[in-house]
Structure 1
Amino acid sequence: MNQIPGLADMGEEVLDVEEEAFLLFAQEVPSNNLGMIDPRAPAVEIPINGKDYTIHQSPSLLSSHRAGGTTGAVLWKITPRFAEWITNPKNPLWSNGLLDQSSTVVELGTGISALVALSLAPLLHHYIATDQEYVHKLFRTNLDANAANSTPTTTSNKKSKSKGSKSKPKPTNPVTNISFTTLDWETDQAGSLKEECLDSVDEDKGFDLLLSCDCIYNEALVAPFVRTCAEICRLRPACGEGEEIGSRRPTVCIIAQQQRSPDVFETWLRETMREFRVWRLSDEVLGEGLRSGSGYLVHLLLVK
């Protein structure tokens, strides 16, 4: 995997499902309850890198019996930690050039908070948030409520025409590059996402990063989730016009999750390793908020 600079320093490759599950769950895991910050609050205040975000939630939707689930109706504890980590300039994704101002990122299961989008999108070319349609209204509310923190944003399903230049992360101005589109892992085709980031004047480069934050908790959804991840990663062409075959870096996939059920984790890892090579990111890379013992896990995947 010489196409991913610094990968050997990011963490250890996972080679055995049962060994990895035992290693992670044999240690004491702190209790984070279900993992929600405050499921009864209509809004929560969250600081990220010196900026305060107001995140509006829907406790009534969370407690409803909506078919298809309601977990995206509130903010989960791992999300602010992940947002802090992914936007840190010392993060190896930035320092190794895997992310820069020309990058396009897709998030699966974004939920209502828009928190990762709000904090990360100003550093990118385009950010595509995906989830079921029921979160869209509050997602837009949270973009509008926090626009001052991230410069102007939009949830139109049209791509911004402006492009950034390659560099280490620094805010672009203005930001008009956040899109929301519905994507149901069980019924929708991942290929439809290309319509969200490409127009007639752009070369088809696929996506630089696919990320997901705390979407692995239901064993029944593991297979469609992993399949969707693999389909999105395979949308990136191997090369462009004039490029050597195989020269383009593969889409990097980052999966962050709370440690809950070892059985669900093992099911996810077994399914994932059929489609991906997997690395568990090291404590040195993750820092205090996500390191081992925090109750959270972060893995990097590269599709086979």
Structure 2
Amino acid sequence: MGKIAVTLQQALARREQEGARGGTSARALAGDAGWGVEDVLCTFGPRDQPFEERHSGICIAMVVAGSFAYRAATGRELLTPGALLLGNTGDCFECGHRHGAGDRCIAFHYAPAYFERLAADAGLASGNPQFKRARLPSLRALSPLIARACVGASASADGSGPTAWDELAVELAAATLQAAGALTRPAAPASATACSRVAQTVRLIDDTPGAPHSLASLAAAAGLSEFYFLRTFQRVTGVTPHQYLLRARLRAAALRLQDGSAKVVDIAFDCGFNDLSNFNHAFRAEFASSPRAWRARGTVRRT
């Protein structure tokens, strides 16, 4: 799970012990005139009533732990770890936790004029860029950016090493605009029951990424046939169960590599990979780096 998810579970445990109401806390990580980034921790749960909020600027929020329902003018989506929440300036939105308590996001906020300039400079949009969808699913092109943000948020919490948040904010804006333009309009939303079952399955995967999950075992846990589970999971999350599980395992491995001194082979096995060569290949394909080079780069950043 890594420090990111552990922090969320600790916050939820404190809320349960104290009998407190759910809430959100935002910790500023970095920012400048046109952008800012926050580590947002939410402890709302199924018994808490959702309320309407409004995006003050362009928002691209990385979901790094937990899951929640997101409703905006651009649609209704289930947000799961690895996905991006997309928000347009001035749009009202609502987040709900009927499927489970808590989430943690690393949220990037952009002033409209600054975001418009980034889009124009990248050659991806002109005029006033507006997201046409509410979410981007977990995608390979986004995984290195999310992993870097998670490492940066953890390092900021313990006071170690700077993170190039300004570069990350620019890279994220460009990658998000490109991915959002390449995707087709989402299919019709799945039923509330199907969303609930998929949300529970997503939490199972993220709580135990190293377990021997398979399509059959995940479908059985969701109480669905393998065919319907596969189709529904992809419709709800935007990726297949195998793709989601693989990226959950790779995210866990990436965080552990920069989080300690355990052997690469032990991390690979702990995260669910049964063969070191397969792990090395998948890691390089996902992050354009070998596990050892990824760890070395993280060590340099912290010094």
TM-score interval w.r.t. the shorter chain? under 0.3
Q: Using structure 1 for the length normalisation, give the TM-score.
A: 0.27
Q: Using structure 2 for the length normalisation, give the TM-score.
A: 0.27
| Structure possessing the higher relative contact order (Cα contacts under 8 Å, 6 or more residues apart) | 1
